[in-house]
Amino acid sequence: MLVRRCAIVMLEPREHAVFDLALLVAGGSGLRSGRAWFALAPHLDQECELDEDHVRVLGELSPTNWVELDELATQHPCTVLAGLLERRLLIEQGSTADADDQGVRATHWRPAAAVMHAMSRWQGVDSKQLAREFAAHANQPILAYLGAPPTPVREHLPEPEQRLLPVPPSTPFDQLLLRRVTCRNYDTTRELPLLDFAAVLHRSFAARAVVETAPGVHILKKGVPSAGGLHPTEAYLLVQRVEGVAPGLYHYQAVRHALEPMRLLEGDAAAALARTFVAGQDYFAHAHVLVIAVSRFERNFWKYRNHAKAYRALTLDVGYLSHTIYLASTELGLAAFITAAINEVDIERAFGLDPRHEGPLAVCGFGLRAAQREEIEFDPLGVVWGAAEC
């Protein structure tokens, strides 16, 4: 059997609480602090615990050269090698672990970025439950638990030494910015007109031009900037209530401004999936359309190989796209949101995405705002809801 170490693995020495019945019986809390090594590897779906022998041997294995396992067994204890094989950190050639590891290699990930991305993905998380657990754990007002937050802005000089700047006269652009309020109240009784749906997608994601800068190298011109003009972020859609578009999963083809139907869904199934995508945030799940911003890591990293800034550039791209969804929606009298609290693994499975090559970084949504406010929105100027309160 030929084996080699996986391409990327980082080790974290972590202190954590361990339940100990003896301590509980003795009248204590039952919690003892323990220390352990954890392997964080982007080709795996979860971190795994290691002992010190695993750590030592892992550091001596080559991630490039395939070697016979029997040969390694002459240098390292078999039980340790077996433990690393079982954890898929030592890879058998031709195995499913090899396929996953090859995916990481082929995409040219920067190791720290690959680990950061892989380890921040959620599956089946309910953020409302997380909030309840946080409240129960804190069990006191947030200020008492967290202490005072940092000041709202950083000041280097006292006020008299600060130079005031002229405030620009209000323009339609200012009015547009003022009306942008993250929406947590969508009208579940009405359908979004097809033209509005298409307009928001066109203004945020559509390619206005495709330019071949070298033979076979195509870059896109869009309404938003993107590192290298590569525009690696695609829009995957969960449509719930749009005139003339059946509820379901779609991919938006940004060059043709076209929908690619992937899976049609009954209304209830679409609603349940929407809720899963946004980690139980019902107020967002009710939006007429969810736009899942999916980065094709392989397209960005094709140029920015193993690059220290590449992953950061991807997240910035998503910021531009999401803000344009907000502004395009607001201009049409619609409303929008963004959330990073998403179940990436569930989204990847629903759309059949291989997380080593492409994956969601955020979920946005837009639609018609409800007439009644049930959920909180941050509208201190009363621009949307009239009352001067949050």
Ligand X SMILES: Cc1cc2nc3c(=O)[nH]c(=O)nc-3n(C[C@H](O)[C@H](O)[C@H](O)COP(=O)(O)O)c2cc1C
Residue numbers of the site for ligand X (CB under 6 A)? 181-182, 281, 338-341, 378
* HSE-CB of 171 using CA atoms within 13 angstroms: 3
Q: Which pair of structure tokens corresponds to residue 34?
A: 């323990």
Whole-angstrom distance, CA of residue 289 vs CA of residue 282: 13
Cβ 341 to ligand X, closest distance in Å? 4
Rank residues 204 and 281 by Cβ distance to ligand X and give the closer one. Answer: 281
Rank residues 166 and 386 by Cβ distance to ligand X and give the closer one. Answer: 386
Cβ 79 to ligand X, closest distance in Å? 44
What is the Rg, in whole angstroms, of the alpha carbon atoms belonging to the chain? 25
Cβ 23 to ligand X, closest distance in Å? 37
Rank residues 259 and 370 by Cβ distance to ligand X and give the closer one. Answer: 370
Rank residues 185 and 281 by Cβ distance to ligand X and give the closer one. Answer: 281
Cβ 244 to ligand X, closest distance in Å? 30
Q: Helices (H), strands (E): how many in the chain?
A: 15, 14
Rank residues 285 and 353 by Cβ distance to ligand X and give the closer one. Answer: 285
For residue 123, CA distances in Å to 78, 274, 348, 362 come to 34, 14, 10, 14
Helix 344-351 / helix 267-277 crossing angle, nearest 10 deg? 140
Q: 290 and 365 in contact (C-beta within 8 Å)? A: yes
Rank residues 86 and 133 by Cβ distance to ligand X and give the closer one. Answer: 133
Q: 261 and 244 in contact (C-beta within 8 Å)? A: no
Cβ 119 to ligand X, closest distance in Å? 18
Place of tokens 């950190």: 89
Whole-angstrom distance, CA of residue 18 vs CA of residue 34: 6
Helix (H, G, I), strand (E, B) or coil at 338: strand
Cβ 51 to ligand X, closest distance in Å? 37
Cβ 180 to ligand X, closest distance in Å? 7
Whole-angstrom distance, CA of residue 282 vs CA of residue 263: 22
Rank residues 7 and 278 by Cβ distance to ligand X and give the closer one. Answer: 278
Cβ 105 to ligand X, closest distance in Å? 30
Helix (H, G, I), strand (E, B) or coil at 179: helix
Cβ 321 to ligand X, closest distance in Å? 12
* Greatest Cα pair distance in the chain: 78
Rank residues 219 and 341 by Cβ distance to ligand X and give the closer one. Answer: 341
Whole-angstrom distance, CA of residue 227 vs CA of residue 313: 6
Rank residues 134 and 378 by Cβ distance to ligand X and give the closer one. Answer: 378
Which of 248, 270, 274 lies closest to 259 in space, CA to CA?
248
Q: Which pair of structure tokens corresponds to residue 312?
A: 């950061």
Q: Which pair of structure tokens corresponds to residue 222?
A: 């869009």
